[in-house]
A and B are shown apart, each in its own frame.
Chain A
Amino acid sequence: MSTAVKHDDFQLPVMSGYAKESYDLCKAHKLSFQRCAKCKTFRQPPRPLCNKCHSFETEWAPVKGTGKLYAWTIPMNPIGKAWVSYMPYVAAIVELDEGPRMATWVTDVPHDQLKLNMPVKVWYDDLTSEVTVAKFKPA
């Protein structure tokens, strides 16, 4: 199940601005989240202003890549033909140990063994030569 996905018809992010910075770090296999450079509050999804100290200063903070399963759904009706061959997949919210959460997949686990808060660790799926995404499997 952790076989890297290769597909021309994937629904890819628009590679500009913060999204490009974020996915470029994924491409380097360094999952990172935007953070306030002053008070270190995470801003996910990325945005210009820190909602705690209102600083415009940002930095990209790498994370260890370990976390826990916060919520999931298992799509079985495709939102586009690109997804048909991957169904059913576990589209999850994972909470990183450092705090931020992200939409992702949890792979390599039978669906009846999915559990709230189960520990997971990152792996990288190079979708295209441009875009790599971070996915997770049981830790």
Chain B
Amino acid sequence: MADPRALRDKTCVVGIGETAYTRGTTKNPLQLSMEASLAAVNDAGIKPSQIDGVVLPNGHNGGATAGDYAANFGIDDLYYTASYPEMGGAQIVSAMEGAVMALASGICTYVLVPHCSYFYTGARARDMTANPANALQSAETIRDYYRPFGVGAPPQHYAWMAQRHMALYGTTQEQLGAVAVAMRKHAQLHPNAVMRGKPMTMADYMASKWITWPYKLLDCSLETDGAGAFIMTTAERAKDCRQKPVHVSGIASGHPFPPHDIPNRPDILRIGLDFSAPRAYAMAGVKPSDIDFAEIYDCFTGQTILQIEGAGFCKKGEGGPFCENGNIELGGTLPVNTHGGLLSQAHNTSMNHVIEAVAQLRGGCDERQVKDAELGVVTGWGGHGHGSIAILRS
């Protein structure tokens, strides 16, 4: 069997593009997706028609189909398309993994990965997660076994994990709050953050209303509209692109077991990232202590703590204290979500996390730049705890 370590640094992100993030828009997802994707193509310095692979993280729900890109970009011979709806919010990083394989195998030369989130103007998450037609593997479980008990929205399923983490390890409300406060601080430094100009303190956090104990309003990510996209090619071709290439050193996807039901996992705190992270580090040939910053899928504060542990930055159960005292803020040991994340920049399903990681590794992020950033981690979380991870190198 081929060794996945052979994929280390073989492919690069060479273009990124993003629309404005807003709460409400007059544009439709197709328009937003095209706007972000064309920006990414221009950033890479290639022609739209040079794209020969379109990897759609969420299939048709991501704003446009592969056929839309072929028609709008003038791709008269599209070689490859795929999508990863089963990964839920982990789909962006898993789509990157798909692009790595399509490029390293020689099937494609330039791959576009686009994504639009329409969470403010479109359907609410609670309506999507329990609808089997959305192809989420957990939807029938939610519909038939959780919703009859008034558990139907992601904060509720995920609050179970946060509560158990608190009961087992002594994780505190203030430690959850420290995650939210750090993300909000970082958002003040990003020109395209929905919460820029709206600072928040721990007192604000503690005073925010309960959504589902132990989660407060400010433990929950934003519902926003906006699209993003990135372009990938082989490391060889990347040398001829406009921007400094960012290499994919390690990448992997993982699943909690069993994937479609939280209660019946042997340990509900063993998440997909616990399976995928060791594989990604092995592929990259680095360890967590080598990482300069992390863009973590911060759908909720507790899930951010679980992933900080899963990605190996601290031991299981120590994620709460790890997030205190500015440790995950710019200037701390591990700056997390330097753009403000899903909690305070926008919810673009971690497409914005990939874009921020690439921007950091290129350098030039001004006041939010991580000094001498060479290695960054991006994670995805979705479904009921699927976990994908990319280790990116400048």
Q: Which positions in A face B, CB cutoff 8 Å?
A: 10-14, 19, 44-45, 51, 70-80, 83, 86, 88-89, 91, 93, 100-105, 111, 116, 127, 131, 133
Contacts and interface: CB of A to CB of B under 8 A. Distances in A.
Nearest to A104: B149
Contacts, number: 106
A93 B384 CA distance: 15
B70 interface: no
B268 A75 contact: no
A116 B214 contact: no
B156 A105 contact: no
A104 to B, nearest CB: 6
Contacts of A77: 209-212
Interface stretch (B103-111, B160-168, B366-374): B160-168
A98 to B, nearest CB: 13
B163 A75 contact: no
Nearest to B124: A79
B194 interface: no
B148 A75 contact: no
A133 B149 CA distance: 8
B300 to A, nearest CB: 11
Contacts of A133: 148-149
B161 A103 contact: no
Most chain-B CB neighbours within 10 Å: which of A10, A86, A91, A111? A91
B160 A71 contact: yes
A91 B148 CA distance: 10
A37 B148 CA distance: 28
B380 interface: no
16 contacts: A11-B148, A11-B152, A13-B147, A19-B144, A44-B264, A45-B144, A45-B261, A70-B268, A71-B163, A74-B210, A76-B210, A77-B209, A88-B213, A102-B145, A103-B149, A116-B167
Contacts of B260: 45
Top 9 closest pairs, chain A to chain B, by CB: A73-B159, A74-B213, A101-B263, A13-B144, A76-B210, A19-B144, A71-B160, A71-B164, A75-B212
A105 B146 CA distance: 10
Contacts of A12: 148
A13 B167 CA distance: 31
Interface string B257-275: 0101111100010000000
A76 B144 CA distance: 22
A88 B226 CA distance: 34
A14 B144 contact: yes
B147 to A, nearest CB: 4
B214 A73 contact: yes
Interface in B223-259: 258
Given A70-B263, A79-B151, 9 more contacts: A45-B264, A70-B268, A72-B160, A73-B159, A76-B211, A88-B213, A89-B150, A91-B151, A91-B212
